[in-house]
Structure 1
Amino acid sequence: MSIVAQMRTQLKDSMKARDAVRTNFLRYWIAQLTTGSGEEVADEQAIKKMRAMLKEARGGQTSFSPEEVALIEEWVPPTLDRSQIGLELAPVADQIKAAPKDGQAMGIAMKSLAGKPVEADDVKAVIAELRG
């Protein structure tokens, strides 16, 4: 079942429970994750969009309430922490260290981490530690 379909199911339950915060949250995200033609965006795109909004909310750049931020966190899978990123980058650590520029090192790291849920800032921090 897609994320939007799951949200629609939960919307009915939140309306019955008269949970205004959850109901408004679900309505907002169903609208955000549905195209003008009524098609749902792919789950990968939905998670990417929600993760971006979560990052903005944590930085104080949105008007989401703390309750809404907590609801977004329920829908977004957790990202790898710095120690897990370090373990994932261990096979390419020598290539990262040998890269002449930080941007090239980041490119090597991101190729190695493709498809894994990571925050770019965490990857940058791990690369900085590796490059010393």
Structure 2
Amino acid sequence: MSALKDQLHSDLITSMKARDALRTSTLRMVLSAITNAEVAGKEVRELTDEDVIAVLGSEAKKRREAAEAFAEGDRSELAEKEKAEAAILADYLPAQLTADEITAIVTAAVDSTESAGAGMKAMGRVMGVVSPQVKGKADGGAVAAEVKRQLGA
């Protein structure tokens, strides 16, 4: 079992003993998502820490998007709950990159692939270099937007 999954299980037990309902329900939800990912596909497999981080990232993204939707619909109490769940999940994710760090990584990738001024034709080449560096540490939409900006699209 991955170390991160073990940590989630032990934190779930701790939160249950502390009667922390929000943390308990959030950890149960993410452990369920991890189990679903393990049994998805043709055969059952054990997720690595990297795979668990990917599941955590997708669940955190769902929470952020739901919070925005609830806020737009004047459902502030539900938006706050979603934000709180996202904050709990953020504790288990690697530190997120700042906009300046994303810009620096993309600039280095554009320089290394000699794609400056190539426009959208070079998007795939640049994203191929950038994606492994930011995986799990930055929102893909923000990274793609920065690549488009630097390629002049």
**What TM-score do you get using the length of structure 1 for normalisation?**
0.77
| Pick aligned residue for 2:125 from 90, 95, 108 | 108
Q: After superposition, what is the alpha-carbon deviation per residue over 1:51-109, rounded to whole angstroms, capped at 9, x for unaligned?
A: 12222321226976332121111112233222112212333434332434x2x433222
1:96–1:131 CA contact under 8 A, matched in 2: yes
> What value does the CA root-mean-square deviation take over the aligned residues?
2.7
Is 1:77 the counterpart of 2:94? The answer is yes
Question: How many angstroms does 1:39 deviate by?
Answer: 5.9
2:8–2:31 CA contact under 8 A, matched in 1: yes
2:96–2:138 CA contact under 8 A, matched in 1: yes
Q: 1:54 matched to which residue of 2? A: 60
Within 5 A, what are the aligned runs for 1:18-37?
18-34=19-35, 35-36=38-39
Q: Which runs of 5+ in 2 are unaligned?
A: 71-77
Q: 2:115 matched to which residue of 1? A: 96
Q: Distance in 2 between matches of 1:73 and 1:108?
A: 30
Q: Which runs of 5+ in 1 are unaligned?
A: none
Q: Distance in 2 between matches of 1:126 and 1:65?
A: 27
**What TM-score do you get using the length of structure 2 for normalisation?**
0.68
Q: Which has the higher helix share?
A: 2
Is 1:120 the counterpart of 2:137? The answer is no
1:2 and 1:119, CA in 2 relative to 1: closer, same or farther beyond 3 A? same
2:30–2:59 CA contact under 8 A, matched in 1: no
Q: Secondary structure at the match of 1:97?
A: coil
2:123–2:148 CA contact under 8 A, matched in 1: no
2:64–2:82 CA contact under 8 A, matched in 1: no
Give % identity: 26
**Number of aligned pairs?**
130
1:96 and 1:52, CA in 2 relative to 1: closer, same or farther beyond 3 A? farther
